[in-house]
Amino acid sequence: MTVAAIVAAGGQGRRLGESRPKQFVKIGDRTLLERSVDAFVTHPAIDEVVVVLPPGAPLPPSLSGRAKPVTAVPGGERRQDSVAAGFAAVTPSVDLIVIHDAARPFVDPATIDRTIEAARESGAAIAALPASDTVKEAGRQKPATVSRTLPRDEIWLAQTPQAFARHVLADAIRIGQSGVAGTDEASLAEQAGHAVRLVEGDARNIKVTTAADLAHARAIVADERKRAVTAGGTPVDAQWRIGTGYDSHRLVEGRRLLLGGVLIPYSMGLKGHSDGDALCHAITDAVLGAAALGDIGRHFPDTDERWRGANSIVLLEQAVALVHGAGFLVANVDAVVIAERPALAPHADRIRERLAQALRVNVSEVSVKGKTNEGMGETGRGEGIAVHAVALLRRADV
Ligand code: MG
């Protein structure tokens, strides 16, 4: 059995109050249309997808080049005209057609499965939810007055997907084209004399129509993101990210000594392509590392003349901007400066203040400690200065 999906996205629905038709409005990382089409492209039972778009609207690039055919066709005046256009584009040998409304971006694979299975047995099936509210019928008179109360246990609220054997959908479309109107394909199939089975829908399979629905949809996506975990079980949206950085430079005569952007009076300075500020470099690497954005050498290579004599506090500011762009803020930074001479302590507070400015945090979030190497090794002999740093980042939107 081969199965095609028709995603109906031909409407101009603007009740959301957005400038675009609602199917092109984003919730989270994808539009309603992309989410709805993805649900069928990724479903193993579906062999091809036809997307009915408003005339002139192109298929979003993310939906082309997929593992199974995705065809776009222009829609018509009414929904049923759009579905007829979609049906005409379905491969003729397809046995069963599933119709879905692009405004229902959260359809789950199990609902699609149930609908297909029931239609395969019975010719037509739709996802629906039993009514939980009591349903009143009223005439058209104003003020609205109840004419009768419907027995709730007999009331179902239709969703999509709606699935049909090819000949059933052909009948429904034929009757629609003969002047009968229907708000969904199932109602046309009923009027053509076909039995339509009800299968259990899903409460999360909401239809996004109003601004309140859109807010609900965005809350569902935010909730999904919070729950999402990587293969290793780590929350995808882990609130905290840690990074480490290290740098060392040789002390030479004839250079100024800059640490954390602060000029330190000393007889020697740090050698380097830039200003040699090892403290800024180690912190820059820690901050970039926490966001998994590479290292200082990648963003500010010492082969690039732009960075000759560069002010390293400016490089740190640029790294912080990169990290902000990736959705993170700096939470705190701690660094150890290993230097036999000069003593760091008298300058530590000025350095912390300058670093805090660059990191866009309060000075209370920046720690800089001086340490000697007890005379051991290169740093112990005063040949250079080494720095270790750690940075903690947090998600900007948490
Ligand atoms: Mg360096």
CATH code (residue 170): 3.90.550.10
Q: Are residues 274 and 168 in the same domain?
A: no
Across the strands, what pairs with 280? none
- 221 or 244: which carries more pLDDT confidence? 244
- What whole-number percentage of the chain has pLDDT above 70? 96
Give Cα 196 distance to the centre of its chain: 37
How many structural domains does the chain have? 2
Compute the distance from residue 247 Cα to the ligand 1 centre, in Å.
Answer: 5
Q: Are residues 139 and 215 in the same domain?
A: yes
Alpha-carbon span 261 to 256, nearest angstrom: 11
Compute the distance from residue 302 Cα to the ligand 1 centre, in Å.
Answer: 9
Q: Are residues 237 and 325 in the same domain?
A: yes
Question: Are 95 and 2 a contacting pair, CB within 8 Å?
Answer: yes
Q: Are residues 254 and 186 in the same domain?
A: no
Question: Are 209 and 103 a contacting pair, CB within 8 Å?
Answer: yes
Question: Model confidence at 398, in pLDDT bands (50, 70, 90)?
Answer: very low
pLDDT at 350: 97
- What whole-number percentage of the chain has pLDDT above 90? 77
Question: Given a cut of 50, is residue 252 above it in pLDDT?
Answer: yes
Domain end point (choices 226, 259, 286): 226
Domain end point (choices 176, 193, 226): 226
Q: Which residues surround ligand 1, an ion (CB under 5 A)?
A: 247, 281
pLDDT, tens only, 154-199? 999 999 999 999 999 999 999 988 888 888 899 999 999 999 999 9
Compute the distance from residue 311 Cα to the ligand 1 centre, in Å.
Answer: 12
Compute the distance from residue 331 Cα to the ligand 1 centre, in Å.
Answer: 23
Q: Are residues 103 and 177 in the same domain?
A: yes
pTM over 0.75: no
Q: Are residues 63 and 111 in the same domain?
A: yes
Q: Are residues 377 and 298 in the same domain?
A: yes
Domain end point (choices 211, 226, 241): 226
Q: Are residues 201 and 238 in the same domain?
A: no
Compute the distance from residue 206 Cα to the ligand 1 centre, in Å.
Answer: 54
Q: Are residues 238 and 176 in the same domain?
A: no
The domain in which residue 359 lies consists of 233-395
Assign residue 365 the CATH number of its domain: 3.30.1330.50
Across the strands, what pairs with 249? 385
Compute the distance from residue 280 Cα to the ligand 1 centre, in Å.
Answer: 8
Q: Are residues 258 and 221 in the same domain?
A: no
